Amino acid sequence: MKIPSLAILSFLVMVGNANAQQNSVYVEQIGSGSTINFTQTGVGNAIGNATTKASVNGNNNNVTVEQIGNTNIAALNVQADGVNITATATGDNNNVTINCGVTGSCDGSTITNTITGDGNTVTTNADGLTDSTVTITTNNNTVSVTNTSSAVSGAKSVIDISSGGGNNVALTQAGAAGTNGHDASITIVGATNDVDVRQGGTVDSKVNATITGSGNTLNIKSNHN
């Protein structure tokens, strides 16, 4: 499905119902000032996949992904500036992957992931001046955030895991800094967590990490060597 370029475009995709299984949708959207909503309910649903991600191209778009159920996949490739991406997964063993500006630009954009369920995987790769937020309230989830910025003010990330144990967090930020550069804030309440934070740049780097629990491992490298 390919959506033509328009000044203002509102696009809604709703797939599935409470009993639906294995629905798949792939969207290639081109145009600025768009609103794109994906809603899937059921088991084994997919928005894009590991090899063919749903594509959103155009500045100042608002993209919302909502998946309710287990073993769902959301894979998005966004190439644009000023984009707001909100992804919500409610259920177990879901996989959410968002690439923003990896082969283009993602300046002035925000990526927000909210996960409720166990055994979920969240992967965010962004290139540009981007704010990334991941909020998880359950157990045994894996989070990987990689931000690479050529913007002066760098990229910022917040990861909040507020329940359970067995969580694994890896956050890497690299690129330009020097004026309020890379920033990270990781809060974990639980046990047996593994946290690896790496940042880079030239001077500016700020990391706040709060862990409550037992058996945690924390590695932080400010200059990312």
Bridge partners, residue 127, by sequence:
148
- Residue partners of 219: CB distance under 8 A and separation at least 6: 195, 196, 197
Maximum mean pLDDT: which of 42-46, 145-149, 182-186: 42-46
* 187 touches 163 (CB < 8 A): no
What is the pLDDT at residue 201?
65
Taking alpha carbons only, the member of 44, 141, 126, 42 closest to residue 85 is: 126
Cα gap 127→203, rounded to integer Å: 19
The two beta strands, 168-175 and 142-149, are parallel
Query: What is residue 220's three-state secondary structure?
Result: strand
Cα gap 98→48, rounded to integer Å: 11
What is the pLDDT at residue 150?
55
The predicted-structure confidence for 29-59, as pLDDT tens digits, reads as follows 888 888 888 898 989 889 988 788 888 888 9
In which band, very low, low, confident or very high, does the pLDDT at 16 lie, cut at 50, 70 and 90?
A: very low
Q: Which residues of 18-29 are buried (b: 16+ CB within 10 A; e: fewer)?
A: eeeeebebebeb
* HSE-CB for 38 with a 13 A CA cutoff: 31
Least confident of 88-97, 104-113, 177-186, 212-221: 177-186
Q: Supply the pTM of this predicted model.
A: 0.77
The two beta strands, 46-47 and 121-127, are unpaired
Cα gap 49→52, rounded to integer Å: 5
What is the pLDDT at residue 175?
65
Cα gap 173→131, rounded to integer Å: 11
The predicted-structure confidence for 52-108, as pLDDT tens digits, reads as follows 888 888 899 999 999 999 998 999 998 889 999 999 999 999 899 998 887 777 888
